[in-house]
A and B are shown apart, each in its own frame.
Chain A
Amino acid sequence: MKEMMIINFEYFWMFLFIIVLASLSFLYRRFNTYKNEVARIYKTKIKEMNNAKTLLDHVIGSIDNLIFVKDKELRYITCNKSFEEFIGKSQSELIGKNDYTFFPKELADYFSNDDKAVMLTGVTHRSEKWISYPNGENKYLLTTTSPLRDSEGAIIGLVGNAIDVTHQKKLEQELTDKEEIMLAQSRQAAMGEMISMIAHQWRQPLSSISMGANNILADIELDILEIKTLKETTLDIVKQTQELSKTIDDFRNFFKLGKEREQFFLKDIFEESYEIVKASFTSNNIEVTKVIQNNIQITTYPRELKQVILNILNNAQEAFRENNIKNKHISIFIEDGLHDVTIKICDNAKGIAEMFIGKIFEPYFSTKSDKNGTGLGLYISKTIVEKHLQGSIQAYNKDDGACFEIKIPQGGNNNE
């Protein structure tokens, strides 16, 4: 019995030893496989990450806009190809340096101030500026600088993104230039109209003065001079000189430079414009009826409003002339609304053709047969009413003619 147990006991230990050995080698093999697997996965991940980084680099590199990244000390961390072209240096030359190394002090200060503002406030900042490229070209850049945050949200630097909008800026400039030219042309046209009106208003007084004097001379030569006639004629001559002078005053007042908003009675403003054309209206037999609320006061730019009213009255006169109207009539309505006032000028000059009504406020458009006009009158009037007077202007046909309606806010305490 004891013999068998000893033999069994020896076999037991041998058996145990073999099992352990087998287990160990099995485990070792498993471990190796696992290690290789991990290494393989690790390599794959590294490769993916490199691909991702390459992709990202390619994406950033393909972006046309300038892209740059700075650290908290405003030194460059990285940038894209467009930025390299802009600054005239390669990325490796940029890294670790700040703007003062590459740009003139004034420009570097400008960038630096923007950057510091972003770092301080943590808010994205936008700015626009004309900037010189190293090749001498000037470009207009729209730059957006944003704080760069880590996963905890702390600011670790900033990212900048700039777009070249030189083309758009140039178009803007061209448009402004064109508007200025149009404005100058319209001013010239307005002056031309004024001078015609002055000339027209002076003709009659000049006739009266000259014929009055000629008649006195004839009496003297023919020896039929009577003191009574002499006195009457001389008085009339003096009266006519007053007329000449009044015309000058009317036009001087009209052109008085008033770039400020003033408060006045709307009736007075209207009458001042009307004075300019009154004589012409009378001699052309244009009947005028006015329905004007007396006490309306408004705060606006008087000279500009007068210019618009005069433009409309002149156009009405032109229309009468063009269409050969027999009983010419113009009605004026000036009334008070809730927040604004309305000036309505209606004529019976046969109205505006339906196909033109939409166009009359366009620049360089005219229905007049006299090709000496600029076609700018109503366009300028519309611009003045909408942009300077904050109002609206419209035209429509009514009864036998056309109506022009101007609405302007009463001004005063409300706006601006």
Chain B
Amino acid sequence: MNEIQALKEKLQNFRVLFADDEKEVRDGMSIFLKKFFNDVVICSDGIEALQEFQKNNNFDIVITDILMPKMGGIALVNEIKNIKPEMIIVFITALRNSIPCEEQSNICLKKPVTFDTLINILKRIGDRL
């Protein structure tokens, strides 16, 4: 078993909440995440994601885009952290600036992401959980 397969073993029982307003990104990302996590919930915007979180807040990781209609990623994360401050947050966005990263222990990724970057993020998440 190689390290990536070991990573999957480690992560597969955790629950992921994913939000992005672009269909292509949702499709591609959900396929990828489902290879590592058994339970992945996909949403199109902040409102939907918040509703899913309120239904059952037993998520371990939130991966979200920043610019979305109705409610953006930063507002979403603020709402979630009010309820579950220890939630692991990953921002994936095309924006280059003004993302509250690293200082607030959030992880930030810039689209389009490379395979190595994704694996590194998964490793960091694995270490934290």
**Secondary structure at chain B's binding surface: helix, strand, loop or mixed?**
helix
Mark the stretch among B26-34, B54-62, B75-83, B98-106 that contacts chain A.
B26-34
Q: Flag whether A218 is at the interface (Cβ < 8 A).
A: yes
Give which listed residue, B2, B4, B113, contacts A214 with CB less than 8 A.
Answer: B113
Q: Flag whether A217 is at the interface (Cβ < 8 A).
A: yes
Q: Within 8 Å CB of B5, what residues of A?
A: 221-223
How many positions in chain A have a CB within 8 Å of any CB in the partner chain?
21
Q: Flag whether A203 is at the interface (Cβ < 8 A).
A: yes
Q: Whole-angstrom distance between the alpha carbons of A87 and B88 in the complex?
A: 88
Q: Would A211 and B28 count as touching, CB distance under 8 A?
A: yes
Q: A204's closest neighbor in chain B, by CB?
A: B24
Least Cβ–Cβ distance between B98 and chain A, in angstroms: 15
Q: Whole-angstrom distance between the alpha carbons of A224 and B25 in the complex?
A: 22
Q: Would A211 and B114 count as touching, CB distance under 8 A?
A: no
Q: Whole-angstrom distance between the alpha carbons of A221 and B22 in the complex?
A: 27
Q: Whole-angstrom distance between the alpha carbons of A160 and B38 in the complex?
A: 98
Query: How large, as a class, is the contact surface on chain B?
Result: 20 to 34
Q: Flag whether A62 is at the interface (Cβ < 8 A).
A: no
Question: Given A221-B4, A222-B35, are A214 and B22 neighbors across the interface (CB < 8 Å)?
Answer: no
Q: Flag whether A219 is at the interface (Cβ < 8 A).
A: yes
Q: Within 8 Å CB of A206, what residues of B?
A: 111-112
Q: Would A207 and B111 count as touching, CB distance under 8 A?
A: yes
Q: Flag whether A312 is at the interface (Cβ < 8 A).
A: no
Question: 18 A-B contacts, Cβ less than 8 Å apart?
Answer: A203-B22, A204-B24, A204-B25, A207-B111, A208-B28, A210-B28, A211-B25, A211-B29, A211-B32, A212-B28, A213-B115, A214-B114, A214-B115, A214-B118, A215-B32, A217-B115, A222-B8, A222-B35
Q: Beyond A211-B31, A214-B28, A221-B4: 6 further Cβ-contacts under 8 Å?
A: A208-B24, A211-B29, A211-B113, A217-B115, A218-B115, A222-B4
